[in-house]
Structure 1
């Protein structure tokens, strides 16, 4: 890859995620301050300076949202809350189009909030002769002593396979969970050498050229190899 293409790619890697993040934050800001309950409040009449009205709207909206989340979270710990969640899941799962979006979103949120604490250690597993795949120990074992692993798909780690393998088939990687997840989430394209311990497939090659010279001027020649 030429240098200008590499520079463009590196610039996009930095600026594109930042631009998307700013776009999402701006969209959320506009939606939050436009909520009926927030937009109808007379902050100026309450003594809030006009320059601080947008900030006051955000603070009030965040307080209401956090209060709602805590209230629903507390409700989910009760029997009534679990029954409500079960009834809601059942109702939405009967809707062909919405159930896909609902279940995917719910699974993504559960995976994001649970973090990587449940993934004990990344390992490599030879699934086919000569083919290795990244998996994670779950800290569980079967009754016959097999190790239970989670084998995620790339780049979507919310799906995958729960497999049971013999301990001697597992290869330790000495990687951190975050390093292995970065490789899976990037579909193998992550280029940070200190995070992803892989080597380039096509290293730079050097060519050797033999040059014949007459150094003494007497017709005798000397072969010199130039790299």
Structure 2
């Protein structure tokens, strides 16, 4: 039984990676099929019918590659357009219109928050400043948090730090705590190391942790 478990642990990352690649491939393939099928229906219903031509059909060897590449090409074009001011303004205008719709606005806002959270955990510049510990729920217990800001609290007359504490293993949710500066303990973990630790529920610890433990045991 131990050998089976060891084999499962060994191949699990590879299997998960392959599954994710296949999953993304199928999604892009399906999106490409929908786009091309829609274009063919529109063309066959208008231009082809008016000219009395034979209906177009893109079923040929290698058509799946075209279906797969089409969404990637479209994403590349969109990314290229967003580098221009006109493209960014057009996207912002479209988002404002969608946000005013009752249901679609909620869905759009939710997805934007999720994307922002993922970008922040990835260490994007000016998202999270550093990694820190705060004592919670009792003294001697520490929780990992991402420092998001520092400011002076006029009400208490103290310098405080805003810390986002993600939940594990789903760091898309969490809570923000405002802690006195002297209650925030700096961590030498990088944003990437801390993110991996949170994502894996503590299973993937930085190598420096193991090195420090071995040195202590000696």
TM-score, normalising length: structure 2: 0.66
Decide which structure has the larger Cα Rg and report it: 1
Partner of 2:16: 16
1:75 to 80, 90, 102: 90
1:10-68 Cα deviation digits (max 9, x unpaired): 212321332233133224313422432355589xx99x9x5554434444444445556
- Contact 1:154–1:187, Cα closer than 8 Å, also in 2: yes
Partner of 1:148: 162
Larger RCO (alpha carbons 8 Å, 6+ apart): 2
Write the distance in 1 (CA, Å) between the matches of 2:24 and 2:95. 32
Alignment coverage as a number of residue pairs: 185
The alpha-carbon distance between structure 1 residues 63 and 7, as it changes in their structure 2 partners (threshold 3 A), is closer
- Contact 2:144–2:165, Cα closer than 8 Å, also in 1: yes
1:122 to 101, 116, 131: 131
Structure with more helix by fraction? 2
Write the distance in 2 (CA, Å) between the matches of 1:73 and 1:86. 16
Structure 1 position 183 matched with structure 2 position 194:
no
Find the residue that maps to 2:159 and give its secondary structure: coil
Q: CA RMSD in A?
A: 3.7
Write the distance in 2 (CA, Å) between the matches of 1:65 and 1:37. 18
Find the residue that maps to 1:142 and give its secondary structure: strand
Unaligned runs of 5+ residues in structure 1 are 202-227
